[in-house]
Chain A
Amino acid sequence: MSETVVSPTGWKPNPRAARRRRADHIATAFGMVMAGILVLVLASILWTLLSRGLSGLSAAAIMKPMGPPGSSSGLANAIVGSLIQTFLALLMATPLGLGCGIYLSEYGADTNRFASCVRFVSDVLMSVPSILVGLFVYQVMVAPFGHFSALAGSVALAILAVPIIVRTTEDMLRLVPTSMREAGAALGATRWRVTLSLCLRSAKTGVLTGILLALARVSGETAPLLFTSLGNQNWSFSLNRPMASLPVTIYQYAGASYEDWVQLAWAGALLVTMGVLAINIAVRVSARRG
């Protein structure tokens, strides 16, 4: 601005300051542009999802089961199948994850080699590509029995959910002050009693958050279900047979060349996303209140 003017008070332009200011302007613009691009792209995804999903979403899409193209079919069996498998997975993952988390925080001191090993393994499991979990469960639960099953799908989802529950449970239990444990012990409570009635109860909200986050993560997973519960065009409530699920249905329908199937895929995608986002928002709101 006034860099070239030498004022009577002896102020001289400083080329170094000018350079720094220029670098700052460039960096500022860079940051704004990058943030703008990211927000725009993400908004475009949401917009595509909403506009195409809402047009495909109807009462029929939710109430009717899947069917051949052109038969005004819906997604009902996929929705129910997803719910069954996800909740079954949580039913298996929650006790296991809680148990492991409790072990790591209450018995797994830093000197415990076994505990640090388990901690590392749980971290590895959290970042394992989900398709490999599907392959693993296929070899353990599908290949020996010779058929795909909803149970195998739930186990695959449970394996993905466990490390998340372990991590949050351990972190939350570690936040419980030692004085609380000591108070319990001083009252004569045994260790399991202190852990369950004092520590776990006071860390309840955090642990519940972990379970909900695991639910959100698992409910959108597709890859581990491809080789385990496979998908099903018809109603099926048997855990011993292939079962439809929303993400797998989206995968099958989105690539199809029938217009009504693609519409259903978008409707399903909208449902899954809204479900996942709703869980995450609920977690956030409860965390702010708690």
Chain B
Amino acid sequence: MTLATATQPKEARDKAGVSRSGSRRSGPDTAFHLLVAASALLVLVVLGGLVLLMGVGGSLAFRTFGLGFAFHDVWNPVADLYGAWAPLFGTIVSTLIGVAIALPLAFGTAFWLTAMAPPRIAAIVGTAVQLLAAVPSIIFGMWGFFTIVPFMARTVQPFLTHHFKHVPGIRFIIHGAPFGTGLMTAGLVLAVMIAPFMTAVMRDVFAAMPAMLRESAYGLGATRWDVMWKVVVPWSRTGMIGAIVLGMGRALGETMAVTFVIGNVTAVGWSLFAPRSTVASLIALQFPESPAGSLRLSALLALGFILMLLSFASLALARMLRGDTK
């Protein structure tokens, strides 16, 4: 109503404008178009600047150490020697552990929620899981620091060292003093952090399947698991992979949850229970003590650049896999 009265005079004016010259735009219209296009451009510029500044800032390190920077395993601020392999290794392994633990949790929970749980309980648990996906990561870090780390140090590690000390193949994985920090702890905390997120996405993907497919399978006498494994999973494969890759992307760049529990030692080794570091935790800890213009700062920025590439690659992967269905 209000709109109609407000645009009455404008209508007359525009009509005149249209009849005078075919598709000429009015001044405010062009201005509006330019305004919104400029804000779109600004978003573009921010990301461009982000990538560019990481690259430029890290160029000193890349020039000093060459391409070997990414695979050199010494990080020694005293000798001014830097290689990215130790934190990169930590990031990759802790992410893989996190995804490996979170995947069965998320899949099982989504299976239970969509196929088994009574509707009322499924609604409550589903909402709770979605809400928990929004909890800030520092909370998970604190919880890990005060709950998981002591548990690992007092229960898990002594148990493992006592029983598997002499088993070849496992010995070198569990080697290390019982500090409770390390890749395994970080992986656990990451898993707990990304599991609600992955569950929420998978549940949406499963629920998006047309009910008729499910019903026809049940009608043919399929069991719940048959329906899940032979109908739902193939139908929603790309969505599930998307959920996994998105969870992986979150775990890759996670700073706060990991910094609390990783132990922060820049070393490389196969032990999952010895203190390590990840790219993000190393940046968070060492950046404040790196003077501007130093090689160390440049090395940290170069690390940031590599992390940027990793997260970019995981997003591109998710998009590619999702694009398959279209």
Interface residues of A (CB under 8 A from B): 20-21, 23-24, 26-28, 30-35, 37-39, 41-42, 44-45, 48-49, 52, 95-96, 98-100, 102-104, 106-108, 114-115, 117-118, 121-125, 127-133, 135-136, 138-140, 143, 159, 162-163, 166, 187-193, 195, 197-198, 216-217, 219-223, 226-227, 247, 250-251, 254-255, 265-266, 269, 272-273, 276-277, 280-281, 284
Contacts A42-B128, A135-B287; A24 near B307 (Cβ below 8 A): no
Residue pair B40, A129 in contact (C-beta under 8 Å): no
Q: For A124, list chain B residues within 8 Å (CB).
A: 47, 312, 315
Cα–Cα distance between A35 and B114 once the two chains are bound (Å):
11
Main secondary structure of the interface of B (DSSP, over half): helix
Contacts A121-B43, A220-B137, A226-B284; A39 near B125 (Cβ below 8 A): yes
Residue pair A96, B37 in contact (C-beta under 8 Å): no
Cα–Cα distance between A195 and B31 once the two chains are bound (Å):
13
Contacts A31-B115, A226-B284, A277-B135; A193 near B7 (Cβ below 8 A): yes
Residue pair A159, B253 in contact (C-beta under 8 Å): no
Contacts A28-B225, A188-B11; A250 near B108 (Cβ below 8 A): no
B304 interfacial by beta-carbon distance below 8 Å? yes
Show 6 residue pairs from A and B whose CB-CB distance is below 8 angstroms, ordered by the A residue.
A124-B312, A129-B308, A187-B3, A190-B29, A191-B29, A223-B284
Cα–Cα distance between A133 and B308 once the two chains are bound (Å):
10
Residue pair A191, B32 in contact (C-beta under 8 Å): yes
Q: For B181, list chain A residues within 8 Å (CB).
A: none
Residue in B closest to A106 when the chains form the complex, CB atoms? B36
Interface residues of B (CB under 8 A from A): 3-4, 7, 10-12, 14-15, 25-26, 28-29, 31-33, 35-44, 46-50, 53-54, 57, 104-109, 111-113, 115-117, 125, 127-129, 131-132, 134-143, 145-147, 192, 195-196, 199, 223-226, 228-229, 246, 249-250, 252-256, 260, 280, 283-284, 287-288, 292, 300-301, 304, 307-308, 311-312, 314-315, 319
Residue pair B7, A188 in contact (C-beta under 8 Å): yes
Q: For A192, list chain B residues within 8 Å (CB).
A: 28-29, 31-33
Q: For A104, list chain B residues within 8 Å (CB).
A: 40
Q: For A216, list chain B residues within 8 Å (CB).
A: 134
Q: For B226, list chain A residues within 8 Å (CB).
A: 20, 23-24
- Residue from B105, B115, B134, B249 having most chain A Cβ neighbours under 10 A: B134
Residue in A closest to B223 when the chains form the complex, CB atoms? A24
Cα–Cα distance between A129 and B254 once the two chains are bound (Å):
7
Known: A100-B42, A188-B15. 15 other contacts (CB 8 A): A23-B223, A24-B224, A42-B132, A118-B41, A123-B319, A125-B47, A127-B314, A127-B315, A193-B10, A222-B137, A222-B255, A223-B256, A250-B142, A277-B131, A281-B131
- Residue from A32, A45, A95, A104 having most chain B Cβ neighbours under 10 A: A45
Cα–Cα distance between A136 and B57 once the two chains are bound (Å):
10
Q: For A95, list chain B residues within 8 Å (CB).
A: 39
Residue pair A103, B39 in contact (C-beta under 8 Å): yes
A-B complex: 9 closest residue pairs judged by Cβ atoms = A129-B253, A34-B108, A220-B136, A99-B39, A188-B11, A192-B32, A24-B223, A27-B225, A103-B36
Q: For A188, list chain B residues within 8 Å (CB).
A: 7, 10-12, 14-15
Contacts A35-B112, A38-B199, A190-B10; A132 near B36 (Cβ below 8 A): no
Residue in B closest to A279 when the chains form the complex, CB atoms? B134
Q: For A106, list chain B residues within 8 Å (CB).
A: 36
Contacts A27-B228, A159-B46, A193-B7; A34 near B109 (Cβ below 8 A): yes
Residue pair A132, B304 in contact (C-beta under 8 Å): yes
Q: For A26, list chain B residues within 8 Å (CB).
A: 225
Q: For A103, list chain B residues within 8 Å (CB).
A: 36-37, 39-40
Least distance between A3 CB and chain B CB atoms (Å): 15
Residue pair A197, B312 in contact (C-beta under 8 Å): no
Q: For A284, list chain B residues within 8 Å (CB).
A: 127
Q: For A132, list chain B residues within 8 Å (CB).
A: 50, 54, 253, 304, 307-308
Residue pair A189, B311 in contact (C-beta under 8 Å): no
Residue in A closest to B143 when the chains form the complex, CB atoms? A45
Q: For A28, list chain B residues within 8 Å (CB).
A: 116, 224-225
Least distance between B272 CB and chain A CB atoms (Å): 20
Residue in B closest to A23 when the chains form the complex, CB atoms? B225
Q: For B113, list chain A residues within 8 Å (CB).
A: 35
Cα–Cα distance between A166 and B44 once the two chains are bound (Å):
12
Residue pair A31, B36 in contact (C-beta under 8 Å): no
Least distance between B245 CB and chain A CB atoms (Å): 10
Residue pair A162, B43 in contact (C-beta under 8 Å): yes
Contacts A31-B116, A132-B253, A198-B3; A190 near B28 (Cβ below 8 A): yes
Q: For A195, list chain B residues within 8 Å (CB).
A: 32
